[in-house]
A and B are shown apart, each in its own frame.
Chain A
Amino acid sequence: MKLSVNQKEYLTDSEQLTVSRLLNEIQSPTAGVAVAVNNKVVRKVDWESTLLADGDHITVITAVCGG
């Protein structure tokens, strides 16, 4: 399956890949981040149940806090 993760191509053999499993696979922090799939933010409560499909664009949006 070919995905785009943070604007970079990402190839994976994982089946039934959810947002949660992807974050784990790419060793992303899971606290203090939001995740968008194809320009829509997926709420954290839905990460376990949201399956990714070939061609999906995933963006990890960290909670920057400076002002």
Chain B
Amino acid sequence: MERYSRQIMLPEIGEEGQKKLAQASVLIVGLGGLGCPVALYLTGAGVGRIGLCDNDTISISNLQRQILYSEETEGRSKTTIACRRLRELSSKTVFDLWKDGLTDYNAREIISRYDLIIDCTDNHKTRYLIEDTCMELVKTWIYGAIGNFEGRVSTFIPSGPRYSNLYPDKEILLNTPKSTGGVIGPLPGVIGSIQASEAIKLICGFGETLAGKILAIDLKNLQFHIFDL
């Protein structure tokens, strides 16, 4: 337990919180800019089971912000390389690799296996799929999204407001292509770190979360705002 001593010494976590983390299972949907820091911090924190879900391969333009990968891993599967790197960090963590990504056909089966879902996806379709499936299966999910200099985070609990209350224009957004716009590297680091922090608080049961709220960050003008949903 020495590896977790610096968080166990926090009264909010303690031995009990550490046990909850070890018993927890978390699914990370998307292993890009957001998924990399989320996976690193949750593995580091001692989450017992982590699902890594992505169908993509590593490209050289990912390296500016996707901190699990390196030049020599270009072209390889993100789930494979992420898992290899995360195992170096924690050999006892159980990793499930979902190499097809999240689809209409597998979403229910995959999501049903986890306590908590973290949305690190890069497209609206998968985000609405996460929402619909989590609603159906009564699961909490942590939303994260980035673009240019701006990021968003929220925690959607089953009894709270829904993502589609915030953005009801589902059909229009579904026809928006997958994000290939600009982004500065530290932005997913900031947003993903907040998502990981939300996950640790939800699992251990302490602190204020972003349930019923949305955090909007603009790194260009260094603005941080929380709005009630």
Interface residues of A (CB under 8 A from B): 7, 31-32, 34, 36, 39-41, 43-45, 59, 61-67
Contact = CB atoms under 8 A, between A and B. Distances in A.
A39 B225 contact: yes
Nearest to A44: B168
A67 B33 contact: yes
Interface stretch (B16-24, B84-92, B172-180): B172-180
Interface string B200-226: 000000000000001010000101011
The SS class assigned to the B binding surface is: mixed
B122 A66 contact: yes
A48 B171 CA distance: 21
B227 A63 contact: no
Contacts of A62: 147, 150
A36 B161 CA distance: 15
Contacts of A41: 166, 214, 227-229
- Residue in B144, B225, B227 whose Cβ sees the most chain A Cβ within 10 Å: B227
B188 A67 contact: yes
Interface in B111-128: 119-124, 127
Contacts of B229: 41
- Residue in B123, B148, B151, B167 whose Cβ sees the most chain A Cβ within 10 Å: B167
Given A41-B214, A65-B122, A67-B179, A59 B227 contact: yes
B11 interface: no
Contacts, number: 87
Nearest to A30: B169
B166 A66 contact: no
A39 B168 CA distance: 19
B183 interface: yes
Contacts of B228: 39-41
A44 B221 CA distance: 27
Contacts of A32: 167, 169, 172-173, 176
B145 A66 contact: yes
Interface string B6-34: 00000000000000000000000010111
Interface string B39-54: 0000000000000000
